[in-house]
Structures are given as C-alpha cells and as structure tokens.
Amino acid sequence: MNKMNRKTLVLLAAAGILAAVLTPILAPAQDKAQPAAPEKTQIGRGPLADLGLTADQVKALEAFRRSRAEERRTFRENMAKLGDEMRQLRQDPQTNQGKIDALIDKRAGLMAQHEKDAFRAGAERNKIFTPEQLEKLKALRTRWAGRGAAGRLGMGWGRGGRSFGPRAGFRSMARWRALRRRTFLDRWLW
C-alpha cells in the first residue's frame, strides 16, 4: 500500500468518525430551530381548502363530521350484531323461518333509515356553505365524477413508468412486447 492510499484511508476514517460524532450533536439543534407548523384540520387540507371557509364554517363542518362519524359507527355496530345473529341462525338446523325473516326485515329497515339519514345530513351540510361555495363544490364534484376513489386520490392506470393499463402509452406496450421474451435479468439490463 503506497503512501497516497494510506493518507486517503486515514482521511476517510477521520471524516467518518467526525460525522458519527457530530450528527447526534447537531440533530437536536436543528429540531429546535424549526418553527411549529400551524395545526390544520382535515378541512384545511384537500379540495375544501380552496372554498375559502370561515372559522365558523370550519367549526360547523368539524362538528357535522364528528356527529356523522358517530352515526356511521353505531350503524356499523348494529349491522354487525344483526350479521352475527344471522350467522348463528344459519348454522342452527332447527331455526324457525320466521326469525330469519324478522332479522332480514330489521336489517332492511336499518339500511333504509341509514340512507334516509344520509340524505337529511346532505341537506344539513349544504346549509353550512354559502351559495358561491356550493357552486364551487358542485364544480369540484363534476370534476371528480366518474373517476372513482383512485382518481380522487391521484392514482389510476397508466400513470407511472411501468403501467400497462388502458392509458398506457405505445412506448411502454412496445417495450413490454420486446422484453417479454427475455430472461428476468436481461429485462433490467436493457
């Protein structure tokens, strides 16, 4: 090993030790220097942030969402209880058909009431917004229409480099046709 390689090796080792020692010392200093980010509610993010909601509207929407979340939770719990009862009745060979019919009717009544509550809640929610905000919201909904949950989240077929869905480009499909006959490692080396 010549003299130049030894010096390089010693310098690299010293730099590594210095970095290992200084990193834990400097990391807390950087954490303290960062100002606290203002806390944003769920409404403050996403598409509703562009509506220009007032503080009272944000509070009303948060309260509305909390109440609706509680209603949905109780609905799910009730449906789960009915589902458990239905499973138990199915397993019992001596089950009375009247009990099963009563459970089915009770379940249908719960679902109908839940749907009615959803429509009423939509009307209550619309009372929170101004007419201009409702127009903006309507425009957002038409833009979202037909895209499904994946479109609202910014995902979808054909986005990204290796997707071969409906919106995939000709280049990616041609490349796939060219690569499908190669071995696994050859594909990545191409």
115 pLDDT more than 90: yes
Residue-wise pLDDT for 3-18, tens only, equals: 778 888 888 888 888 8
pLDDT for position 71: 93
Classify residue 45: in a domain, yes or no: no
Note the Cα 176 to chain centre separation in Å.
30
pLDDT for position 45: 59
Question: What span, in angstroms and rounded, lies between the C-alpha atoms of 181 and 35?
Answer: 55
Per-residue confidence at 79, pLDDT binned at 50, 70, 90?
very high
Task: Tell me which residue range forms the domain holding 69.
Answer: 53-142
Lookup result for tokens 């038409």: 142
Classify residue 41: in a domain, yes or no: no
Which structure tokens are listed for 79?
């449906």
Which structure tokens are listed for 138?
């309507």
Residue-wise pLDDT for 128-157, tens only, equals: 888 898 888 888 878 777 665 555 455 444
Per-residue confidence at 176, pLDDT binned at 50, 70, 90?
low
Task: Report helix, strand and coil shares of the chain as percent, to nearest 5.
Answer: 75, 0, 25
Q: Which helix (H) or strand (E) holds 101?
A: helix 97-126
Classify residue 12: in a domain, yes or no: no
Classify residue 102: in a domain, yes or no: yes
Classify residue 111: in a domain, yes or no: yes
How many domains does the structure of the chain reveal? 1
Per-residue confidence at 66, pLDDT binned at 50, 70, 90?
very high
174 vs 32 pLDDT, higher one: 174
pLDDT for position 111: 94
Classify residue 132: in a domain, yes or no: yes
Which structure tokens are listed for 35?
């100002």
Classify residue 118: in a domain, yes or no: yes
Task: Give how far Cα 158 sits from Cα of 66, 120, 143, 165, 178, Å.
Answer: 37, 39, 19, 5, 19
Question: What span, in angstroms and rounded, lies between the C-alpha atoms of 187 and 190?
Answer: 5
The pTM of the full predicted model, rounded to 2 decimals, is 0.51
The CATH number given to whatever domain includes residue 101 is 1.20.120
Classify residue 179: in a domain, yes or no: no
Task: Find the range with the poorest average confidence among 63-67, 108-112, 142-146.
Answer: 142-146
